Amino acid sequence: MRVTIAQGRLVNDIVFEEIKKFLLGTIETKGKRIKPVLTFNFIPNQDDQDEEFDVQLIDEEIRKIRFEEKVDKSNTGKQFDYFFNQGLEIRQTHSIPKDELIVLLTGERNNRNFLGYIDDSMLNSFVYTNGWNRIYSNNVDSIFPIIYEIYCWILRANMFDNSTDLYHAVHKDNEGCAMDFCEDLRDHRQKSRSNDICETCNDILITREFREDIKQYIYNSLDKVRHSILRRNNGRTIVTDIELKYINGTKKFTIPNYNDYVIEFPPQEKTVYYFFLIHPEGLSYKEIHNFREVLYEIYNEFSIRDDLGSTEEIINRMIGFNQNQIYPGTKNFSGVVNEINLKLKAVFIPEVIDSYLLKSRKGKYSILLDRDLFIDNSGIIL
């Protein structure tokens, strides 16, 4: 699958080259490089780069204008068709296949204050490249939210038949999903940091038979973007509490003092981390076997699985319980602990990280966090 990225008017050459460099980079997993299944074609700008008007998002207009409104209050931006026609011209001039997605990067403001959109063919999209410093901290390089949008438009273009269906499917309430509308533009920070595709949107991709290898490649790439945003935004932050709460019917760990940032733990990692949060005394590895029933119950709370037998198998393998014999294979306890700590280190600064890590201390695994700083409104009764 190939996507064309075109440099439109008022897009800084350095920004375009940095975006190109990122997109051409391969994904690294456990020290190994993965051959890209998604490729990009880049078309640099050949036009005059002189500015015609103020391209920055205006402070008092930071709130996104609703889709139904035709122009913003300042009436200075271009209509959507202006950008879509540029895509059509690029397609014709450079003989781009008719079924290939074009993402036009443009520094020209649109009259609806959108960060990007796509035409009814779902093949010509644009992403606005200016004004991101009004949404993100100055420490965040603007190329990362722009790259986030590029990947998201690839997903959206493959989810719907036309732009009307897309608009009707967007989340009006923010869910930390790539399909969040973000009427308040500053909410973009939440969805780019959560790097989440909700279950409903993922089901749409499955129904559309979107290639699984490309989807996973994009998900991994979005995760790289998320970590880049976190690192550029001083990488990690000083926070005082972790709150466990429901989001869209599932329990997730969030950081209230950091824009409700979601720590992306899959069910096994959630189970282990929660288990040790409710056991501040710490437990040795051998003692964990005595709490299998508790671990089963916690895992069932965090997982969508209904089969208790499957739950028992997953937990037993993780803690190495097999009538006192060690299970072979992956997803063992030490591997899960390692993954938990890697994700926590991407969030918290060195001065506070040790309190949040799950580590073996004097022979017992424990989390040192002051439990007064852990707000548990999960409703789990053990």
Domains located in the chain, CATH noted: 2-232 (3.40.390), 243-376 (no CATH)
SS3 41: strand
- The pTM of this model reads 0.59
Angle at 297 between CA 296 and CA 303, to 5 degrees: 85
pLDDT for 184:
81
Q: Please list the pLDDT of the chain residue by residue as tens digits (382 residues).
A: 899 999 998 888 888 988 998 888 765 555 555 667 888 999 998 665 444 444 444 444 444 555 555 544 555 788 999 999 999 999 999 999 999 999 999 999 888 888 899 999 999 999 999 878 777 765 447 788 999 999 999 999 999 999 999 988 998 887 778 898 888 887 888 788 776 788 888 889 999 989 988 988 888 888 888 777 765 544 444 555 666 666 656 677 877 766 667 788 888 898 999 999 989 999 988 888 889 889 988 888 888 655 555 888 888 888 876 555 555 545 688 888 888 888 888 777 666 778 889 988 888 899 988 887 788 877 666 6
Helix 308-319 vs helix 292-302: angle between axes, to the nearest 10 degrees?
120
Indicate left, alpha or beta for 249 from its phi (over 0: left) and psi (-120 to 50: alpha). left
Q: Residue 275: its pLDDT value, please? A: 92
- Residue that has been written with the tokens 């280190």 in this structure: 345
Contact 142, 22 (CB under 8 A): no
- Burial class (CB within 10 angstroms; exposed 0-12, middle 13-18, buried 19+) of 60: exposed
Closest by CA position to 126, among listed 145, 153, 151? 153
Sign of CA dihedral 30, 34, 37, 38: positive
